Amino acid sequence: MTTQQLVAEIKRKKSFLCIGLDVDLTKIPTHLLEEEDPIFAFNKEIIDATHHLCVAYKPNTAFYEAYGIKGWKALEKTINYINIKHPEIFTIADAKRGDIGNTSTMYAKAFFEDLSFDSVTVAPYMGKDSVEPFLAFENKHTILLALTSNQGAFDFQIQKINDQEVYKKVLEVSKTWKNASNLMYVVGATKAEYLEDIRQIIPDSFLLVPGVGAQGGNLQDVCKYGMTANIGLLINSSRGIIYAGNNKNFANKSAKKARELQKQMEQILNLL
């Protein structure tokens, strides 16, 4: 999917909502545990109930890898279901990969070719030769961790080297990498006050913004400082949507939560 196609879908749905499919078998409704594949059964109901309200889905691969081969097969069935039933949806493998040379190429092949995701999250710590193999894939996007929403982000990301914060160095240097136009960036919603500075460095890039909802991020603040003329934002909510209900009506409750966010986004987009 190209960036232009993503922007068109955002405008069509009046939504820049991304739903995180982070499936924990201890939290899903118990009746699903009787299914042959409870992870996929849960995801399918969530997707069926919310696909018209969001423009992206983001499975965090750890929640699938934790269940071994069964979890990986559930991930494969989930992405295939989205790609076949809702090909207009932007898909994100939240895998936080990143290694040098051929290893990154193999990670990229796994997510872009085998599983056919549109994008994958990547850690920048090992530098350009760990990221450029992902960027080499046409019409695929690499979402670089820039400034994350967790408390540990203060350990390194905002520390200064020669009077410049590390996250700013990441942003500036990444712009020089080959095929950098395929880059998007992760910026946590709990760091909204940093978005003005971030937009000075990457004024047009799409940002994946986790942390709205359960982690306390504020949608209005993120949009005030982070939105561009082409929107430039994907706002992720995971737990706040997918675990809104815990009975047989859970998907409808998830859809209600998704619609609440979508309606807020529609109001914001109408002001552009």
Q: Please tell me the distance from the alpha carbon of residue 203 to that of residue 19, in angstroms, as a whole number.
A: 24
Question: Buried (b) or exposed (e) across 84-117, using 16+ Cβ within 10 A?
Answer: eeeeebbbbbbbbbbbeeeebbebbebbbeebeb
Catalytic residue among 11, 14, 70, 96: 96
DSSP letter at 52 equals T
Q: Please tell me the distance from the alpha carbon of residue 267 to that of residue 271, in angstroms, as a whole number.
A: 7
Residue carrying the six token digits 């609440």: 260
Task: Determine whether 58 is an active site residue.
Answer: no
Residue carrying the six token digits 């990444």: 174
> For residues 104 and 97, is the Cβ–Cβ distance under 8 A?
yes
Phi, psi at residue 123, to the nearest 5°? Answer: -85, 135
Q: Please tell me the distance from the alpha carbon of residue 168 to that of residue 166, in angstroms, as a whole number.
A: 5
Burial (CB < 10 A; 0-12, 13-18, 19+), residue 75, is buried
Q: Which of 87, 133, 172 is nearest to 185 (CA)?
A: 172
Active site residues: 96
